[in-house]
Structure 1
Amino acid sequence: MSEMPIECTTREEVMFFDTDCGQVVHNIAYLRMIETCRTRLAAKMGMDLVEMTTSRRFPVVTRTEIDYRRPAKLGDWLVLKGRVTEMGAARFWCDFEVHRESDQELLITCRQCLALVQMPEGRPVRLPKEWTH
């Protein structure tokens, strides 16, 4: 893996389907947005959607830690920043932050652990050497 940290930024508008009856974003919507950012991050690591389906190796979330600091509301534009923070032999960790674009307010912090899994066997595999060096 290169010396430069692998990072990705995505942008999402809060839609009706992201909110509850009070027009506040519900927790599962944040995870969907983080999933989009993480998928773009994986592409920067060499695992775009085509590569994953060809190799049948997929980064699978094994743990999610999330802190909800402030609510986002209907119509807010959110900026999600993701980065790879740790790399082991079989797992890696990514950190995410969600900010409201209009005032840069930090709304969410999230940390996820992932393993690379060979499908259809469902067998974890070692991370590529180029990732860990």
Structure 2
Amino acid sequence: MASKGATHSTDIRVYYEDTDSGGIVYYANYLKFAERGRTEFLRDLGHDHRAMAQDHGLGFVVRRCLVDYLKPARLDDLLRVETRLTRVHGAKFEMAQYVLRNDTILCELAVTLGVVDASGRPSRLPPHVRQALVGVCGVQEEGKG
């Protein structure tokens, strides 16, 4: 679990299905790796997708994603996805993510997640979920958003 101000890490192995014919990871698969990292981050905080849907009728959607591809990953590489919460707003939160091989950054992502109800409308995070994100991750809450 991420400690206060810490970065959460998830290990990902590159499989054949993740690569092109040359054994290089297809660019869109970095988005899937990042999704797995965010999912494990939230799960370790005790607020996984299933619990949010069942307990609160809420889900998370990607509102914005900026990606910088720096170096290629290859078949059978063991990658580490690092995820760090950077901001919490009323109905969204922002994360910085990095995909690394050893200590080399291969891909950087800045992701904004929106919180939505079952109809897809924006919704505020429940107070205890907001508190977990703010408290454990050591970020400041920002204005309503």
Sort the TM-score into its range (normalised by shorter chain).
0.7 to 0.9
Query: Does 1:42 pair with 2:42?
Result: yes
- Structure 2 unmatched ranges of 5 or more: 135-140
Aligned counterpart, 1:108 = 107
Q: Following superposition of structure 1 onto structure 2, how do residues 1-133 of structure 1 map, counting pairs within 5 Å?
A: 4-5=4-5, 7-54=7-54, 55-101=56-102, 104-119=103-118, 121-130=119-128, 131=130
* Partner SS state of residue 25, structure 2: coil
More strand as a share of residues: 1
* Residue identity (%): 31
Say what the alpha-carbon RMSD is for the aligned residues.
1.8
| Alpha-carbon distance between aligned partners in 1 of 2:50 and 2:7, rounded to the nearest angstrom | 20
Between the two proteins, the alignment pairs up a number of residues equal to 128
Q: CA deviation at 1:6?
A: 6.2
- Are 2:49 and 2:59, in contact at CA under 8 Å, matched by a contact in 1? no
1:75 partner letter: D
Query: Does the Cα contact within 8 Å between 1:78 and 1:98 map onto a contact in 2?
Result: yes
Gaps of 5+ in 1: none
TM-score after normalising by structure 1? 0.87
